Amino acid sequence: MKPSLITLIIVIFSLRACAQKQEKATPEIDVGGNCEGCEAIFESPVPFNELNWIDTLPGFDEPGQKLAISGSVFKLDGKTPAAGIVLYVYHTNQKGIYPNKGDENGWGKRHGYLRGWIKTNNSGQYKFYTLIPASYPNSNNPKHIHITIKEPGKNAYWIDDFLFGDDPLLTRELRNKNNFRGGNGILSTSHQKGIMIAKRDIILGENIPGYPKE
């Protein structure tokens, strides 16, 4: 091998190493405030770049009211579709608990196995299928679905839970306490071929502390 070719290879690898080091050193913007469990979004069994914009959560074939939630994710202007945004959702089962199968790791031990990861398509769309969860046992807490957001250049942060507008536990007082993080999370549902259908559009950064306005 000629010395000039060896030198060229060394230079190429050095440039790649510098680029990777610089990319890793680029800090993310810290937004959203405290978020216990948001790191669970990184436990996706599928690499982020391979996620689909549609997912069916485990347990969909179990007894319970089937549910399909869809919508679009927009940038802060509320108009521009946001592609490549990762959403992590999880919720309780029909008994109001976060169920485990016994082989969960990390946050799966607390969040249970009824969880999923999706990534918006080029039009900012997302959709997932699951069962309507139950409220916590012996509580007045409305049934809900948790959601965490991860967008490029920012840390993971939570937005308002998916709530159900026809839930009797969702009182007027609780509705008024809605933070509207990411927009309104209260769902209006309708029936379609045995499945409850709901839509929620999400606006990145809306009412999120520390989110840059530009």
pLDDT over 90 percentage in the chain: 83
Average pLDDT in the chain: 90
pLDDT in tens, 131-190: 999 999 999 999 999 999 999 999 999 999 999 999 999 999 999 888 899 999 999 999
pTM across the whole model: 0.86
| Structural domains of the chain sorted by starting position, each given as residue range(s) with its CATH number in brackets | 29-203 (2.60.130.10)
pLDDT in tens, 52-109: 999 999 999 999 999 999 999 999 999 999 999 999 999 999 999 999 999 999 999 9
Q: 128-165 as b/e, with b when 16 or more CB fall inside 10 Å?
A: bbbbbbebbeeeeebbbbbbbbbbeebbbbbbbbbbbe
Q: Which helix (H) or strand (E) holds 108?
A: helix 108-111
